[in-house]
């Protein structure tokens, strides 16, 4: 079995006895993502999304409906132990869950373990030890590079190194948790000295998140051929960015306070198995580009390592919601606009012996299409603030205003496969807070 193989759990004919799963935009029985949820007054615990329900994994394990070796891993308040499972064991769990939720013979026992998702609160799926963010969206890198360095948008290392930096794990938050506008230093172009205040150029970044699986021991790199086995799942990631702070602080050491005040993830961990039908070849590099160095090159990865997902960003403002306007679609584009595959990101990260651990989070970097309708940030959509975007109701935006709500979505679509989605990655911007002293 390879990591891109399709099996009986993907069969389009397979239906769940959970009625809402049929034709569900995100969570048909072919998806089965893992998450951590709670109901009012209860402890967070592991669950699986199915239609508009959540299957309580701990209840399943307690009722001895799961393999004995997996059951104890479902008891925690995070998915770290489940994420550490080797791919083979995770695939066995998927097969069992798929059977439980599709075979009517299991319905009577399993149905009492379903909760209405609407009654549940979703939490971070893992205790995140470390979070690193990459920069593999080549059109984003070009667009942003051009604004910061007009004659030199892509630095010479870009086509050799999957560029990344270490982010901040403590401020990663699940979808739904609002974001407080950050304060920071910015230097207006015409000013002699920087000022300290709320960001005036608050932006989102449309990214995919990668949840690390088993991981590697310190000093032991992950070969590219084995990288897929170290990925436990995927999510959407909004890497909120204060562009004014970023422009002032980013040299010489890269992003710092412009990025680490909060990052929002979608709470469901979509497994590599669920994404198998949506694997596609990594797009060929343009003529004249260097081939990846051997440690980053693998034939299977090049043939199957990209993701056939469609990514979308929606925006509502407070005024839009008050007036009953539908969300404004800011962008839509394919996730294949990545210069490096997620497997190459994993291998590069561990290539110096750096140890990745179960539950670590990697961001791909902003994924933009070559065309404006697929740009993954306001920095690009508004051309660095020069071209305002019209909102329904007469408002305009160059960057985010207080009350704005940003929603990221991802959907896998492929011929002969039941489409699946990631669920929303959504958060609202709250006004800056600062305890003025004196």
Binder of Mn ion out of 205, 229, 298, 314 (CB under 5 A): 205
416: left (phi over 0), alpha (psi -120 to 50) or beta: left
Chain residue whose CB lies nearest Mn ion: 239
Binding to Mn ion by CB under 5 A, coded x per residue (else -) over 85-124, reads ----------------------------------------
Output 205 or 312, the one with its CB closest to Mn ion.
205
The strand order across the sheet containing 206-212 reads 164-166, 131-134, 361-363, 206-212, 231-238, 263-265, 172-174
Output 133 or 249, the one with its CB closest to Mn ion.
133
Output 58 or 245, the one with its CB closest to Mn ion.
245
Question: Is residue 140 annotated as part of the catalytic site, yes or no?
Answer: yes
Instruction: Give 299's Cβ-side CA count (13 Å radius).
Output: 0
How near is the Cβ of 363 to Mn ion at its closest, in Å?
6
How far apart CA 275 and CA 134 sit, in angstroms, is 21
Backbone angles phi, psi at 312, to 5 degrees: -140, 150
Output 56 or 239, the one with its CB closest to Mn ion.
239
How far apart CA 62 and CA 72 sit, in angstroms, is 9
Binding to Mn ion by CB under 5 A, coded x per residue (else -) over 129-168, reads ----x-----------------------------------
Q: Most distant CA pair in the chain: distance in Å?
A: 74
Residues 29-58 that bind Mn ion (CB under 5 A): none
Using CB atoms within 10 Å of the CB of residue 280, give its burial: 0 to 12 exposed, 13 to 18 middle, 19+ buried.
Answer: middle
Name 102's bridge partners. none
Q: Determine if 405 is a binding residue for Mn ion (CB under 5 A).
A: no
How near is the Cβ of 167 to Mn ion at its closest, in Å?
8
Name 242's bridge partners. 202
By CB under 5 A, how many residues form the interface with Mn ion? 3
How near is the Cβ of 232 to Mn ion at its closest, in Å?
21
How near is the Cβ of 130 to Mn ion at its closest, in Å?
15
> DSSP label at 328?
E
How near is the Cβ of 143 to Mn ion at its closest, in Å?
13
Candidates 83, 184, 156; CA nearest to 124 is 83
Other Cβ atoms closer than 10 A to 327: 17
Q: CA angle 274-131-301, nearest 5°?
A: 45
Catalytic residue among 140, 304, 348, 349: 140
How far apart CA 381 and CA 396 sit, in angstroms, is 12
Output 216 or 264, the one with its CB closest to Mn ion.
264
How near is the Cβ of 413 to Mn ion at its closest, in Å?
25
Binding to Mn ion by CB under 5 A, coded x per residue (else -) over 231-270, reads --------x-------------------------------
C-alpha pair distances (Å), 285 with each of 163, 289, 290, 293, 351 = 17, 6, 8, 13, 22
Output 133 or 380, the one with its CB closest to Mn ion.
133
Which residues sit at the interface with Mn ion, rule CB under 5 A? Answer: 133, 205, 239
Give the residue numbers marked as catalytic.
140
């Amino acid at each position: 079995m390879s990591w891109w193989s399709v099996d009986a759990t993907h069969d389009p004919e397979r239906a769940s006895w959970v009625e809402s799963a049929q034709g569900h935009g995100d969570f048909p029985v072919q998806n089965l993502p893992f998450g951590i949820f709670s109901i009012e007054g209860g402890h967070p615990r592991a669950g699986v999304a199915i239609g508009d329900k959540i299957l309580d994994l701990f209840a399943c394990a307690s009722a001895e409906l799961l393999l004995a070796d997996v059951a104890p891993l479902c008891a925690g308040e995070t998915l770290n132990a489940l994420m550490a499972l080797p791919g083979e064991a995770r695939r066995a769990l998927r097969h069992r869950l798929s059977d439980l939720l599709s075979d009517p013979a299991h319905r009577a026992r399993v149905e009492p373990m379903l909760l209405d998702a609407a009654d549940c609160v979703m939490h971070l799926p893992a205790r995140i030890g470390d979070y690193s963010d990459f920069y593999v969206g080549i059109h984003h890198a070009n667009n942003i590079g051009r604004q910061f360095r007009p004659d030199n948008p892509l630095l010479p290392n870009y086509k050799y190194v999957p560029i990344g930096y270490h982010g901040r794990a403590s401020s990663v938050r699940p979808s739904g948790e609002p974001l407080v506008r950050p304060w920071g230093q910015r230097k207006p172009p015409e000013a002699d000295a920087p000022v300290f205040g709320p960001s005036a150029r608050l932006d989102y970044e449309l990214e995919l998140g990668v949840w690390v699986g088993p991981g590697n021991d310190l000093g032991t790199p992950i070969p590219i051929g084995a990288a897929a086995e170290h990925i436990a799942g995927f999510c959407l990631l909004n890497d909120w960015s204060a562009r004014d702070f970023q422009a002032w602080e980013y040299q010489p050491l890269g992003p710092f306070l412009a990025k680490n005040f909060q990052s929002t993830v979608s709470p469901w961990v979509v497994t590599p198995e669920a994404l198998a039908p949506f694997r596609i070849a990594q797009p060929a590099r343009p003529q004249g580009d260097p081939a990846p160095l051997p440690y980053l090159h693998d034939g299977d990865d090049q043939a199957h390592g990209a993701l056939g997902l469609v990514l979308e960003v929606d925006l509502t403002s407070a005024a839009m919601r008050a007036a009953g306007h539908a969300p404004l679609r800011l962008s839509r584009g394919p996730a294949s606009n990545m210069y490096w595959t997620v497997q190459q990101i994993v291998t590069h990260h561990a290539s110096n012996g750096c140890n990745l651990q179960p539950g670590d989070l990697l961001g791909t970097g902003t994924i933009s299409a070559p065309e404006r309708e697929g740009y993954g940030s306001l920095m690009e959509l508004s051309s660095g603030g020069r071209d305002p975007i019209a909102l329904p109701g007469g408002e305009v935006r160059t960057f985010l205003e207080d009350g704005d709500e940003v929603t990221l979505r991802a959907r896998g679509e492929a011929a002969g496969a039941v489409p699946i989605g990631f669920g929303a990655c959504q958060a609202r911007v709250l006004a800056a807070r600062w305890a003025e002293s004196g």
